[in-house]
Amino acid sequence: MKKTALITGASRGIGLAISERFRRAGVKVLAPTRKEMDLLLNESIDEYLLTLKAPVDILINNAGINILAGIAELSDGVMQDTMQTNLLAPLRIVRGIAKGMIKRKYGRIINISSIWGEITKPKRVTYSMSKAALNAMTRTLAVELAPYNILINSVAPGYVNTELTRKNNSVKEISAIKSGIPLKRLAEPEEIAEFVEFLASNRNTYITGQVIIIDGGFICL
């Protein structure tokens, strides 16, 4: 039977690559726009989930924001928007989707995290907090949902060749980043998508509660 996947943040970057990979694998993809489901608004999330007609077998919490700010300049808005988008909205979506998965005793949930949930650097306090908490959510729910054959994992990419990476780093900085990665290059979104597709498929029968880092060896140094 054809599976249905809900993917947030699927208009570009990693999310787009995941949606394209899933479609090629024969998965029906639901990719709401911000107008259809605004992650900053709880009522928008709830309203969108109520519109779903088919059961969701796979949930990919991919959407996220990373606004760089030092602690002295960190605004309430950045704190609130980052935690809402990167942590609270994914939790809310899982809460809405998991009910059906529990009933059917099947589900695959992948949270797109980041190496910055495991390590960090200046000006990323809210982003690192949100991703570390997302990983804690993954581990906790993996234990809770395991009896229902629901597998949940975090995928934590390092530097990926996306618009967000280019926005937060100059050409010179990206060159320096590449030199600091053992594989000497950025990951491509398709490389992340390939592993996400495996975790979401029936080929994955035992991996749950894990934070899987895909960074070309960056944090090994």
Angle between helices 13-24 and 189-200 (to 10 degrees): 50
Q: Which helix (H) or strand (E) holds 195?
A: helix 189-200
pLDDT range class, residue 85, cuts 50, 70, 90: very high
Mean of the per-residue pLDDT values of the chain? 98
| 83 within some domain | yes
| 179 within some domain | no
Asked whether the predicted pLDDT for residue 164 surpasses 90, the reply is: no
Q: How many CB atoms lie within 10 A of CB 206?
A: 5
| 183 within some domain | no
| 172 within some domain | no
| 30 within some domain | yes
Note the pLDDT tens digit of each residue in 182-220. Answer: 999 999 999 999 999 999 999 999 999 999 999 999 999
Active site residue 127: yes
Mean pLDDT across 59-85: 98
Give percent above pLDDT 90 in the chain. Answer: 98
Q: What local confidence, expressed as pLDDT, does residue 84 receive?
A: 99
Number of alpha carbons in the 13 Å side-chain half-sphere of residue 161: 12
Q: How many CB atoms lie within 10 A of CB 180?
A: 12
| 166 within some domain | no
Q: Residue 157's beta-bridge partner residues? A: 214
Give the total number of structural domains in the chain. Answer: 1
| 14 within some domain | yes
Tell me if 187 sits within 8 A of 8, measured CB to CB. Answer: no
In angstroms, the CA 203 to CA 57 distance is 14
CATH of the domain at 115: 3.40.50.720
Q: What local confidence, expressed as pLDDT, does residue 168 receive?
A: 85
Q: Which candidate, 177, 190, 79, places its Cα nearest to that of 124?
A: 79
Q: Which domain holds residue 34?
A: 4-159+188-214
For Cα atoms 93, 95, 99, give the angle at the middle one, nearest 5 degrees: 120
Cβ partners under 8 Å of residue 194, min gap 6: 21
Mean pLDDT across 42-48: 99
Angle between helices 125-145 and 89-104 (to 10 degrees): 10
Asked whether the predicted pLDDT for residue 1 surpasses 90, the reply is: no
Active-site annotation holder among 48, 127, 148, 159? 127
Q: Which candidate, 142, 143, 60, 57, places its Cα nearest to that of 101?
A: 57
Note the pLDDT tens digit of each residue in 91-106. Answer: 999 999 999 999 999 9
| 29 within some domain | yes
pTM of the model: 0.97
Q: Is 121 exposed, middle or buried (0-12, 13-18, 19+ CB in 10 A)?
A: exposed
